[in-house]
Structures are given as C-alpha cells and as structure tokens.
C-alpha cells in the first residue's frame, strides 16, 4: 500500500501508522503554502510512526525540519501525538481550537492518580461492576498514554481563515467527536474541477465508512452536563449544507458527495436512538445499556479499554434522549438508571 497520495493542487497525504489499532493509520495531509509546507494533523507518537512521517515528507520533497506550521483537527493522540516532535525539528507553530487546547492543558496539569480516581467514580456511577472498576484502583500511572501532549501556540478561530500564505483555509467548528474538533475548508477550486465548494479536511467528523465515536470529555471539577451527540448532529448538518466537492478525512480514503454521507449518519443516529428507547422499557444504568447496544462485536469480546469508551458513548446517547424528552433518570436510583418516557 502506498504511503503517500497526491491529491493535486498542492495537497498530499501520508499514511502514518497507529500501533495496535484496527484503524491502521492516520492520514496526515501536507499542504503547500508560500512559506513552506503545513501539516493537517501529525499522527501517533511512536518511533515507527515518526519514521513513516519523515519518509513520507521526503517523498513529498520536504522534511520535518522544513514544516512551517501544524493545524490540528482535534486533540486525540493519533492526530496530535507527533506535533511536539515536529515543532522541535522545525520550530513550526501548532494550532488548535481552544476547547481542545483546554483539554490538552488539563491533561498535562492533572496528576494521573486524579484521572484514575475520576474514571473510577464515573464508571461506578454508570453502574459498572466491581470487577471492571477494581483495576483502576491499583493502576500504575504509566498505564495512561498521552500524559504530555504538546501545548498548541496558536488558536484556531471558527469562521476565520488560517494565516497560510497563498492558501484559503477556513476553520469550521464541528464539536461532537471532541469539544474542539474542527474541519478545515480549502476554499479553492478543485484541481480536477469536481463540482462543489472546494475541499474539506474533515478529521474524524466525517469518514466514508466509519461512524465516529461520540463520548464525553469533561473536566472532573466542572459539573456542567454536556450534550456531545446533539453537538455532533448539529455539526453534521452544517457540513452537509456546505457541500464540498471532495472530503479529505483523517482515516480510510477521500470521497465525494458529503451530503449523502451526512444523511446516512443522521439516519444511523436516529435509528440508534429509537433502538435504545426500545431497550429502556425497563430502567437501565448506562453500563447495562452499553451491554445491550449493538457494537462491531459481542460485548463479551470487547476489550477492557473499549468497554470504557462504549459506556461513554451509551451515556452520550442517554443525554440526547433526556434532552429530547424521550427518556428520564429514575428518581432515587443509585447508580442512576434511565427509562423511556
């Protein structure tokens, strides 16, 4: 499989591997500008990933030391992991939306023990059994990856053009997958003259065949109740109305007809919410709901870390149902259970 793809018009992508992950790789985009190449995302912080990125840049006629800037779609380690190393090699600036930058600052500033305590409390409140929670009570801090992600030094402001000499790249805030996820609209004619409004670097917001994870990214010291699934669905509709000629996602492959893919995802989530209501004829905790939801494999085959992600997604769906008035928490239940109304 080729590591570098030329998308035309001064845009290339490099397949940067994600170790031990079914996604396989992150597509890191190299955007030519009048001041030097700019990366959209950087890939996972791993020696093989770094070597692949460097080799890919060489194939593009450049190197890590020549990178002018880094634009991050969101803070996840398969997107932001190598940003610090790229900056060390080149002096490049690193830009990110403030909502995700605040998560980066919180991650760097919070003791690992605090996170394990928070995760233990959250899972217990979600109804996780003791045998699942117990390992977190004795977990070693090194078990948490990505404890020191690079601090961005520029803020991506939604609606504004990024400062890229010779290019028109506009930020579109698309919260949901993360609070500060951004898509990046390249407001230039498609090099193959495909019909539509330019090209869109979609990060994980819009993928050709995968439904992005919608979970919770909350400050342990902030009691604000978020609705990430509602945010995601609203963001999807905005991207559908944009109707770019081509979507350049962070995983899988480039594709056209974004409005059709948006409709598929909106239909998928509406169908899933309806299915969950049928499960909530009797009160269930978020953990019990996650056990009964449809995943890409049976619950007993889902590995430990992925179960935490699944419960987070179940809770995000519950919050959407509650906000829509289609479900409610059962008064006095502990751990809290939810039922359809």
pLDDT above 50: residue 231:
yes
Query: What integer best gives the mean pLDDT of the chain?
Result: 93
CA 248/CA 200 separation, integer angstroms: 6
- In this structure, what are the phi and psi dihedrals at residue 181, rounded to the nearest 5 degrees? -60, 140
> What pLDDT is stored for residue 218 in this prediction?
72
CA 216/CA 25 separation, integer angstroms: 23
Closest by CA to 203, choosing from 244, 249, 258, is 249
Burial bucket for residue 332 (CB in 10 Å: 0-12, 13-18, 19+): exposed
> What pLDDT is stored for residue 252 in this prediction?
97
CA 206/CA 235 separation, integer angstroms: 10
The reply to whether the predicted model has a pTM over 0.85 is yes
> What pLDDT is stored for residue 143 in this prediction?
45
Peptide bond into 335 cis (omega under 30): yes
Q: Three-state SS for 151?
A: coil
> What pLDDT is stored for residue 142 in this prediction?
54
pLDDT above 60: residue 32:
yes
Mean pLDDT throughout 232-241? 96
Two tokens, residue 251: 């995983």
> What pLDDT is stored for residue 220 in this prediction?
67
CA 42 to the chain's CA centroid? 14
Mean pLDDT throughout 158-176? 97
Share above pLDDT 90 across residues of the chain, in percent, rounded to a whole number: 85
> What pLDDT is stored for residue 147 in this prediction?
62
> What pLDDT is stored for residue 234 in this prediction?
96
pLDDT above 70: residue 15:
yes
pLDDT band at 138 (very low <50, low <70, confident <90, very high): confident
> What pLDDT is stored for residue 320 in this prediction?
96
Count Cβ neighbours within 10 Å for each residue of 97-133 and write b for 16 or more, e otherwise.
Answer: bebbbbbbebbeeeeeeebbebbbebbbebbbeeeeb
CA 154/CA 172 separation, integer angstroms: 16
pLDDT band at 336 (very low <50, low <70, confident <90, very high): very high
pLDDT band at 215 (very low <50, low <70, confident <90, very high): confident
Q: Choose between 247 and 140: higher pLDDT.
A: 247
Mean pLDDT throughout 206-215? 94
Instruction: List, as one string, the DSSP characters of 87-149.
Output: HHHH--EEEEEHHHHHHHHHHHHS-HHHHHHHHHHHHHHTT--HHHHHHHHT--GGGSS-SSP
> What pLDDT is stored for residue 160 in this prediction?
96
> What pLDDT is stored for residue 313 in this prediction?
93
Contacts for 244 with CB less than 8 Å, ≥ 6 apart: 185, 196, 197, 198, 199, 200, 258
DSSP state of 309: H
* 57-91 per-position pLDDT tens digit: 999 999 999 999 999 999 999 999 999 999 999 99
Which residues on adjacent β-strands are paired with residue 313? none
């Amino acid at each position: 499989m080729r590591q570098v793809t030329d998308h035309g018009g001064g845009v290339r992508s490099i397949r940067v591997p994600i170790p031990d992950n079914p996604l396989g790789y992150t597509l890191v985009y190299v955007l030519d500008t009048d001041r030097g190449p700019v990366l959209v995302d950087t890939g996972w912080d791993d020696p093989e990933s770094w070597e692949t990125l460097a080799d890919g840049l060489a194939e593009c006629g450049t190197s890590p030391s020549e990178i002018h800037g880094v634009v991050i779609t969101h803070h996840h380690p398969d997107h932001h992991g190598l940003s610090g190393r790229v900056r060390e090699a080149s002096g490049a600036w690193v830009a990110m939306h403030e909502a995700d930058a605040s998560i980066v600052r919180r991650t760097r500033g919070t003791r690992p023990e605090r996170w394990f305590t928070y995760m233990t409390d959250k899972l217990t409140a979600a109804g996780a059994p003791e045998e699942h929670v117990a390992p977190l009570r004795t977990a070693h801090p090194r078990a948490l990856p990505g404890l020191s992600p690079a601090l961005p030094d520029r803020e991506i402001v939604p609606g504004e053009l990024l400062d890229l000499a010779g290019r028109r790249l506009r930020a579109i805030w698309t919260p949901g997958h993360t609070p500060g996820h951004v898509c990046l609209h390249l407001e230039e004619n498609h090099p193959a003259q495909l019909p539509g409004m330019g090209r869109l670097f979609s990060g994980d917001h819009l993928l050709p065949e995968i439904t992005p994870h919608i979970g919770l990214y909350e400050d342990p010291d902030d009691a604000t109740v978020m609705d990430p699934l509602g945010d995601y669905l609203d963001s999807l509709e905005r991207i559908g109305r944009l109707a770019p000629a081509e979507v350049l996602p962070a995983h899988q492959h480039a594709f056209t007809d974004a409005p059709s893919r948006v409709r598929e995802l909106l239909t998928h989530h509406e169908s899933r919410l309806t299915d969950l209501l049928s499960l909530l004829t009797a009160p269930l905790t978020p953990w019990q709901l996650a056990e009964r939801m449809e995943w890409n494999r049976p619950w007993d085959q889902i590995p430990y870390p992925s179960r935490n992600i699944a419960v987070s997604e179940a809770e995000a769906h519950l919050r959407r149902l509650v906000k829509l008035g289609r479900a409610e928490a059962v008064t006095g239940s502990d751990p809290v259970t939810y039922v359809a109304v």
